[in-house]
């Protein structure tokens, strides 16, 4: 178990924000997760559970203990994959394809660890993590016991799970079971996947070709955190009522939208931010990415407060123009 005091978190958040914590603990197996839970109970200090920091904005030093999983165990059993919560997600997607297990291709190149995937219910190009998650294994902090939760018990929703709600800070995730398929059934009808395949002269993509298209599409609109600090999509795409959607559609003829059900539509947050004139603009050392308005970036030595100030300015303008409150997708601490 890795256990450090007065520890810098700059390498543990993709915004590249300098912040420190009083104590930092990494566990590499279930027993160490249980020992970590015991430490957290004994200390009775604030604690923060993180993954790779790809969905995290630090606005200050953390006056407590930061915990991260480094559990790497991965095991295939027929069409089920049991994976340690510390495994890097995109490495897992690639490993699945190389091993002939399919279902995660559309989630290629999303940064983060497996444990965070189960908490956040990541999604992209018409696929969400909940579509392939079967069970989540976690150590209950208050008892130290290992619990197993079904997908239904996790109550997954759009960028949501019970781990973000009623179970927040109650569990240390150790493993996730994914239900995959030996048969490749590509999901091609979201965004511009088909258009890009056609441009490349591909009518029936292989799993590897689909993964490469997804990777190229993401790289074309999202900056590399190693070059420009960011946490990917900063805001969630709002789901609005049918009445509100129709009122906005009457005002904005070409407004993009995605059907949810008879009573709801999803409106891209990036489009609204762009309509407010924020795409490519900066506020001090923080900015809105010039290729994708959904992404806020650290333009150099920005603090967490700089990013948060930009967040609030964008929210204000979108609310003023569209009457919609944008909700951050990132965890703001």
Q: How high is the mean pLDDT of the chain?
A: 96
Domain ranges of the chain: 2-69, 229-332
> pLDDT digit string (tens) for 206-238?
999 999 999 999 999 899 998 999 999 999 999
Instruction: Assign domain 2-69 to a CATH class.
Output: alpha beta
pLDDT band at 44; cut points 50, 70, 90 = confident
Out of 128, 211, 233, 265, pick the active-site residue: 233
Euclidean distance between CA atoms 64 and 22, whole angstroms: 5
The yes/no answer on whether domain 229-332 falls in CATH 3.90.78.10 is yes
Report, as an integer, the average pLDDT of 109-115. 95
Separation between Cα atoms, residue 232 and residue 225, nearest integer Å: 8
Q: Is the pTM of this model over 0.85?
A: yes
Give 266-291 pLDDT, tens digit per residue: 999 999 999 999 999 999 999 999 99
Tell me the mean pLDDT in the region 44-63: 95
Task: Please indicate whether the domains covering 2-69 and 229-332 agree at the CATH topology level.
Answer: no
Closest CA to 181 of 232, 127, 251: 127
Q: Tell me the DSSP string of 170-193.
A: SEEEEEEEEE-BSS------STTH
**Partners of 62 in the β-ladder:** 21
Whether residue 211 lies in the annotated active site = no
- Report the number of secondary-structure helices (H) and strands (E) in the chain: 9, 20
Residue 78 has pLDDT above 90, yes or no: no
Dihedrals phi, psi of 155, to nearest 5 degrees = 50, 55
Give residue 218's pLDDT. Answer: 94
* pLDDT, tens digit (0-9, with 9 covering 90-100), for 288-313: 999 999 999 999 999 999 999 999 99
Give the mean pLDDT of 183-198: 93
**Mean pLDDT across the stretch 153-173?**
96
Strands, E assignment, 85-131: 123-124, 127-128
What's the pLDDT tens digit per position in 121-144? 999 999 999 999 999 999 999 999
Please say if the pLDDT value at position 190 is more than 90. Answer: no
pLDDT band at 187 (very low <50, low <70, confident <90, very high): very high
Q: Which of 85, 159, 161, 211 is catalytic?
A: 159
Strand ranges (DSSP E) for 99-185? 123-124, 127-128, 133-140, 146-150, 171-179
The answer to whether residue 12 scores a pLDDT higher than 90 is yes
- 105 pLDDT band, cuts 50/70/90, is very high
How many Å apart are CA 34 and CA 238, to the nearest integer? 38
Cα–Cα distance between 70 and 35 in angstroms, integer? Answer: 14
Per-residue confidence (pLDDT) for residue 323, from 0 to 100? 97
Active site residue 181: no
Kind and range of the H or E run holding 21: strand 20-27
Helix (H, G, I), strand (E, B) or coil at 96: helix
Confidence of residue 188 (pLDDT cuts 50, 70, 90): very high
Supply the pLDDT for residue 330.
94
Structure token pair of residue 115: 């444990």
Asked whether residue 77 carries a pLDDT value surpassing 90, the answer given is: no
Query: Has 233 been annotated as catalytic?
Result: yes
Mean pLDDT across the stretch 143-152?
98
Q: What percent of the chain has pLDDT over 70?
A: 100
């Amino acid at each position: 178990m890795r256990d450090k005091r007065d520890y810098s978190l700059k390498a543990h958040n993709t915004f590249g924000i300098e912040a420190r914590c009083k104590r930092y603990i990494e566990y590499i197996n279930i027993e160490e997760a249980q020992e970590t839970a015991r430490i957290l109970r004994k200390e009775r200090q604030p604690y923060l559970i993180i993954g790779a920091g790809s969905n995290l904005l630090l606005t200050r030093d953390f006056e407590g203990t930061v915990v991260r999983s480094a559990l790497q165990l991965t095991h295939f059993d027929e069409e089920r994959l049991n994976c340690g919560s510390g495994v890097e997600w995109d490495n897992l997607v690639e490993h699945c394809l190389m091993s002939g297990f399919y279902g995660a291709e559309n989630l290629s190149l999303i940064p983060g660890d497996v444990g965070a995937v189960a908490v956040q219910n990541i999604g992209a190009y018409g696929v969400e993590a909940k579509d392939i998650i079967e069970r989540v294994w976690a150590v209950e902090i208050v008892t130290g016991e290992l619990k197993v939760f079904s997908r239904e018990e996790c109550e997954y929703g759009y960028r949501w799970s019970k781990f973000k709600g009623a179970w927040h800070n109650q569990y240390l995730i150790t493993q996730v079971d994914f239900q995959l398929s030996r048969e490749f059934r590509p999901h091609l009808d979201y965004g511009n996947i088909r258009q890009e395949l056609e441009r490349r002269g591909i009518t029936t993509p292989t799993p590897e070709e689909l993964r490469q298209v997804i990777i190229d599409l993401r790289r074309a609109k999202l900056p590399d955190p190693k070059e420009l600090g960011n946490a990917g999509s900063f805001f969630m795409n709002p789901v609005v009522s049918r009445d509100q959607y129709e009122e906005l559609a009457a005002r904005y003829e070409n407004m993009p939208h995605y059907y949810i059900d008879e009573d709801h539509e999803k409106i891209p947050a990036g489009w609204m931010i762009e309509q407010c004139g924020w795409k490519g603009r900066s506020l001090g050392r923080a900015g809105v990415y010039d290729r994708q308005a959904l992404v806020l970036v650290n333009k150099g030595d920005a603090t967490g407060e700089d990013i948060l100030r930009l967040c609030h300015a964008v929210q204000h303008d979108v609310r003023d123009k569209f009457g919609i409150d944008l909700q951050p997708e990132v965890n703001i601490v």
